């Protein structure tokens, strides 16, 4: 995978530098919040910052307690309610100290069983979370409910980067409002609600975007992984504006976690278990929540492996989605394009309006109802250069066409900057038809990377670096691209 080398041309815009408040496990909330006198909790540190400032956590485990909850309503306890907006040039940041990894443990929270939990709540524009773990987020309500590790309900232009959300009962990332948010290099795994609704675990996805306004566009989940979540890996149900899954991996979803997060032999069924659920508004009788123009969601350069249900799934959507350069193996069916007949008619019909290009399907697990591609009306879709369709150019895929079929690569650790591990799993071998015709996840796109941070050894005033729009810059524009971070100009070049 290509890396982006970022060279800093230091500028003397002292007025643009953000205030930084430090927090450590051995700190005190009565301390000054300097690197030598850190505070102890996020709520106390939050009172010290203004728009565009940074809270920087030293490594270690932070045990979160009920008295740290910053905001409540009738339904939710927003534990860390982040509502101080940043700006385009100075984001308000919560980050882990460079080279260290803070862990926020919410498992001890109770609140008398009255609330859903939102561990980190994005309630303003231009926020940035970076470089920490969220674990143990609980569910304390017996009926239909959910909790979330990170929720975006108001904020736009936010970045959630290099966050691991795991070993709890909550959804990883959950968004219901906001535009132009980027979730980058995050992992959600081993999440299962073992408390509500008879321990079914059917409302715990890895990542979900479910915005309710057609104008809330530009939301992207990029270079993220979801595994061993008890419901779906990635979910766009009831989403009313186009969203994008880019270079993401979904594997072993729909099962209860085991003691070993990398266990690949023990499977206890839980929720739906789709890898990428890219739309849909339900199948209840009568009209749906679908807007007048159904959004065309975009799933590309993604990998779906051994999910309980479908690898890539349109979920009764009321229009077509774009599916390009994906690889799917060992799901019940690898590509299921089923659509709902109309807004008024709750009838399943073969998929219409979909675009499928350069996708790979290897074997699937359900010999009676599954398939490489099911529930698709080819005459009403654009289907080009996939291993499974159109029939006249289809490829009989065999294991020797891949560089590797070892799924252990999916679990490999990220690098120091949070980038996905280098992977040859399901990559077409040189000389194979997969490589020659550029099919599957490894082809047809420019690699993006982490929003790198090179902290100053003395000042530690910067939290991270990002492009002006927070998303991928085409390779032909990289040489002339200008990036900004808190008063510094950043030049980006390909290595």
Residue of higher predicted confidence among 452 and 127: 127
Instruction: Assess if residue 342 is contained within a domain.
Output: yes
Instruction: Assess if residue 346 is contained within a domain.
Output: yes
Average pLDDT, the chain: 88
Residue 299 above 90 pLDDT? yes
308-331 pLDDT tens trace: 999 999 999 999 999 999 999 999
Instruction: Assess if residue 281 is contained within a domain.
Output: yes
Nearest to 188 by CA among 238, 234, 245, 128: 234
66-112 pLDDT tens trace: 999 999 999 999 999 999 999 999 999 999 999 999 999 999 999 98
**The model's pTM:** 0.87
- In 111-260, which ranges are continuous DSSP H helix? none
Q: Are the beta carbons of 424 and 404 closer than 8 angstroms?
A: yes
How many domains are there within the chain?
Answer: 1
Range with the poorest average pLDDT among 101-110, 225-234, 287-296, 310-319 = 287-296
Residue 227 above 50 pLDDT? yes
Which helix (H) or strand (E) segment holds residue 43: the answer is helix 42-46
Residue 477 above 90 pLDDT? no
pLDDT of residue 66: 97
pLDDT of residue 266: 74
Q: Cα–Cα distance between 297 and 293 in angstroms, integer?
A: 12
Q: Are the beta carbons of 230 and 254 closer than 8 angstroms?
A: yes
Range with the poorest average pLDDT among 80-94, 214-228, 366-380, 474-488 = 474-488
DSSP letters spanning 2-42: --EEEEEE----GGGPPPEEEE-TT--TTS--SSSS-BS-H
pLDDT of residue 260: 73
State which residues form the domain around 406: 4-10+74-494
Point out which residues pair with 492 in neighbouring strands.
6
| Beta strands, E only, 69-186 | 71-72, 76-82, 92-96, 102-105, 116-122, 127-135, 148-152, 159-166, 171-175, 182-184
Give the whole-number percent of the chain exceeding pLDDT 70.
85
Q: Give the strand pairing for 482-485 and 488-494.
A: antiparallel
Across 296-300, average pLDDT:
98
Residue 438 above 90 pLDDT? yes
Instruction: Assess if residue 288 is contained within a domain.
Output: yes
Q: Cα–Cα distance between 378 and 251 in angstroms, integer?
A: 27
pLDDT band per the 50, 70, 90 thresholds, residue 490: very low
pLDDT band per the 50, 70, 90 thresholds, residue 439: very high
pLDDT of residue 17: 63
Instruction: Assess if residue 42 is contained within a domain.
Output: no
CATH number at residue 299: 2.160.20.10
pLDDT of residue 467: 45
- Please report, in angstroms and rounded to a whole number, the separation of the first and last CA atoms in the chain: 10
Instruction: Assess if residue 197 is contained within a domain.
Output: yes
Instruction: Assess if residue 241 is contained within a domain.
Output: yes
- Residue 456, classified by CB atoms within 10 Å of its CB into exposed (0-12), middle (13-18) or buried (19+), is exposed
Instruction: Assess if residue 167 is contained within a domain.
Output: yes
pLDDT of residue 41: 99
Residue with tokens 């808190």: 486
Which helix (H) or strand (E) segment holds residue 482: the answer is strand 482-485
């Amino acid at each position: 995978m290509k890396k982006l080398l970022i060279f800093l041309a230091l500028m003397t815009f002292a007025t643009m530098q953000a205030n930084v408040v430090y927090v450590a496990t051995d700190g005190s909330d009565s301390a000054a919040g300097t690197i030598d006198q850190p505070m102890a909790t996020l709520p106390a540190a939050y009172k010290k910052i203004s728009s565009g400032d940074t809270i920087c956590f030293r490594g270690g485990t932070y045990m979160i307690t009920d008295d740290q909850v910053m905001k409540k309503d009738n339904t939710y306890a927003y534990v860390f309610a982040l509502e101080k907006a940043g700006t385009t040039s100075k984001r308000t940041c919560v980050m882990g100290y460079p080279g260290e990894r803070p862990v926020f443990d919410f498992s001890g929270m109770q609140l008398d069983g009255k609330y859903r939990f939102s561990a980190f709540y994005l309630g303003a524009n231009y926020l940035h979370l970076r470089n920490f773990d969220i674990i143990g987020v609980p569910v304390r309500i017996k009926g239909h409910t959910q909790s979330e590790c990170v929720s975006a309900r108001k904020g736009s232009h936010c970045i959630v980067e290099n966050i691991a959300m795991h070993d709890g009962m909550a959804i990883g990332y959950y968004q219901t409002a906001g535009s132009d948010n980027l979730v980058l290099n995050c992992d959600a795994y081993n999440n299962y609600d073992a408390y509500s609704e008879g321990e079914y675990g059917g409302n715990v996805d890895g990542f979900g975007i479910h915005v309710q306004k057609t104008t809330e566009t530009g939301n992207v989940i990029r270079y993220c992984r979801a595994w061993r979540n008890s419901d779906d890996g990635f979910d766009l149900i009831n989403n009313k504006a186009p969203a994008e899954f880019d270079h993401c991996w979904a594997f072993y979803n729909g099962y209860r976690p085991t003691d070993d997060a990398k266990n690949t032999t023990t499977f206890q069924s839980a929720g739906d278990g789709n890898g990428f659920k890219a739309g849909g508004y339900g199948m209840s009788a009568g009209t749906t929540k679908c807007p007048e123009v159904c959004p065309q969601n975009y799933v590309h350069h993604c990998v779906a492996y051994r999910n309980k249900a479908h690898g890539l799934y349109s979920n009764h959507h009321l229009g077509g989605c774009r599916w390009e350069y994906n690889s799917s193996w060992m799901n019940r069916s690898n590509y299921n394009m089923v659509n709902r007949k109309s807004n008024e008619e709750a009838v399943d019909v073969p998929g219409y309006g979909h675009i499928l290009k350069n996708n790979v399907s290897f074997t699937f697990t359900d010999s009676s109802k599954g398939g490489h591609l099911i529930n698709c009306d080819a005459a009403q879709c654009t289907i080009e250069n996939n291993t499974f369709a159109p029939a006249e150019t289809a490829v009989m895929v065999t294991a020797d066409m891949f560089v590797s079929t070892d799924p252990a690569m999916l679990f490999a650790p990220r690098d120091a900057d949070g980038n996905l591990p280098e992977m040859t799993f399901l990559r077409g071998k040189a000389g194979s038809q997969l490589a020659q015709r550029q099919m599957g996840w490894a082809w047809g796109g420019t690699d993006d990377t982490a929003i790198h941070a090179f902290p100053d050894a003395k000042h530690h005033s910067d939290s991270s670096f990002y492009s002006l729009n927070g998303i991928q810059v085409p390779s032909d524009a990289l040489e002339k691209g200008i990036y900004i971070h808190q008063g510094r100009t950043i030049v980006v070049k390909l290595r």
